[in-house]
Amino acid sequence: MGKLFIIILICFHYQLVAKDFNVLDYGAEADGITLDTKAVQAAIDACTLNGGGKVLIPSGKKVLIGTIYLKDFVTLHIENGAVLLGSANYDDYTTDTHKNMYKNEPHMDRCLIFAKDARSVAIEGYGTIDGNGHRENFDKGRPMLIRFLNCRDIHLNDITLINPAAWTSAWLYCDNISVNGINIISRVNNNGDGLDFDGCTNVRVVNSNFDNSDDSICLQASRPDRPCKNITISNCHFSTKWGGMRIGLLSRGNIESIAVTNCTFKDIQDSGLKIQQGEGGEMKNMVFSNLVMENVPRPVFMTFAPQRANVDTPEHELEPLKRMHDFTFSNIVVDNSQLDKNSAFFLTGFPGNYIEDVVIKDVQFTVSGGAGMEDAEKTEVNEYTQEILKGWWPEFSLVGTLQASGIFARHLDGLVVDNFNLTVVDTDLRNPVVLHDVKHAEINQVRLNKKLISSEQITIR
């Protein structure tokens, strides 16, 4: 009898402490027309005051909101069949949700869901968060969907995120992040990034699907004292108008210890892995393995060149470059047979600033080819100088067709290429490998249409 009493007491205590907070109980109309921001925020406030629990967006309901603030120990649970819908009125988004860290983009400062200095926060459920970010809804500003600032112990699980007016999410200076089983579809507006981790540590992204109008995942460091570090990404699929993964641009702090494995990339306009250091931090220690790509014109695109990307960096100031080193790309299969001749592994440092110690091995790379003698004899490829950049990013469009059909590397110190198998569908007069100002290069077992290439098929300048 005593044990039974104790069990009943424990269960009663659990019901008091661990409680669900249904937004309908806090006045939400949940009709997709009435603005329910206050009701949802009241449920969040009650939940955190209780010591934590779930704030429920019930299935079959559409809850319309402006900016809401997540707080300690709150799990925002969007049930299967439920929709949390962003307002189409820009004035429903508050102005105290930090800012976008890129220069010239204050129109993306506002956001729908915000958390600051929060711990143990989660967004989960098989429902949908719809940013309602269609272009006709936002003409004076485009709010992001989610922004977390200086938070820790964050979970984003099994949720579908669609239609942001700008980025889907920005994570600034957060620690211990787990993302699992999410779907992001962000094609209705510009700058539709998926997950942007800025100065974050201990991040895991797994089992997720990305369909974006801009970079699917970004790793960056906008503050010198907040590195982006200890990041693992696996079992994900990327399809996007721009880059599958972008590492850098915002790079005032260090970006290091990155592992990406078992991912697929398809129908990407710009690059699969876009790795760009330029603002004074150090970038190092990254492994990319077991990747399959289709219609991805630059499977790997690396740049090391000075630029100003950060909103807090004074105008006309460039931070001195540090180092960019220790990268391995292995077990990669790429089918670009349906694309044009502008398909290559493109790695370029800067005069006097070398990308160091890069390994590319065990690659199957199919390209369409088709380049003529004019491309093969091209001698000048633009450097990413300030005159070429004109205040913007080091994009491939500023360079144009490369002299290589497979790998173009420039300003590197330490390059190993091993077991690189290049298949060219149509006649291409360019050499498979072109090296400009590359020190300590070791090129082994490179095949062109199943035949080992000769030394004459490697251009060295």
Confidence check: pLDDT of 15 > 80: no
Confidence check: pLDDT of 4 > 60: no
Confidence check: pLDDT of 256 > 70: yes
- pLDDT tens readout for residues 159-182: 999 999 999 999 999 999 999 999
- The answer to whether 247 and 286 have CB atoms below 8 angstroms apart is yes
Q: What percent of the chain has pLDDT over 70?
A: 96
- My answer on whether 379 and 303 are in the same domain is yes
Does a structural domain hold residue 247? no
- My answer on whether 353 and 435 are in the same domain is yes
- My answer on whether 274 and 174 are in the same domain is no
- The Cα–Cα gap between 321 and 225 comes to 16
- My answer on whether 208 and 294 are in the same domain is no
Task: Specify the CATH number for the domain of residue 141.
Answer: 2.160.20.10
Confidence check: pLDDT of 229 > 60: yes
- Range of the structural domain that residue 333 is part of: 267-461
- The answer to whether 275 and 258 have CB atoms below 8 angstroms apart is no
- My answer on whether 294 and 201 are in the same domain is no
Task: State whether residue 325 is helix, strand or coil.
Answer: strand
- My answer on whether 274 and 206 are in the same domain is no
Name the residue with tokens 């006649």.
427
For range 114-140, the mean pLDDT: 97
Task: State whether residue 333 is helix, strand or coil.
Answer: strand
Does a structural domain hold residue 249? no
pLDDT score for 382? 96
- The answer to whether 368 and 341 have CB atoms below 8 angstroms apart is yes
- The answer to whether 366 and 423 have CB atoms below 8 angstroms apart is yes
pLDDT score for 237? 98
Does a structural domain hold residue 223? no
Computed from CA positions of residues 383, 386, 390, 395, in that sequence, does the dihedral angle turn out positive or negative?
A: positive
- My answer on whether 209 and 273 are in the same domain is no
pLDDT score for 309? 94
- My answer on whether 56 and 195 are in the same domain is yes
Of 214, 235, 256, the last residue of a domain is 214
* Distances, alpha carbon 153 to alpha carbons 11, 194, 272, 424, in Å: 27, 20, 29, 48
- The answer to whether 271 and 303 have CB atoms below 8 angstroms apart is no
- My answer on whether 313 and 455 are in the same domain is yes
pLDDT score for 11? 40
- pLDDT tens readout for residues 38-73: 999 999 999 999 999 999 999 999 999 999 999 999
Q: How many domains does the chain have?
A: 2
- The Cα–Cα gap between 298 and 296 comes to 6
For range 28-46, the mean pLDDT: 98
Which of the four pLDDT bands, split at 50, 70 and 90, describes residue 8? very low
pTM for this prediction: 0.95
- My answer on whether 313 and 426 are in the same domain is yes
- The answer to whether 429 and 376 have CB atoms below 8 angstroms apart is yes
- pLDDT tens readout for residues 385-419: 999 999 889 999 999 999 999 999 999 999 999 99
- My answer on whether 182 and 301 are in the same domain is no
Does a structural domain hold residue 242? no
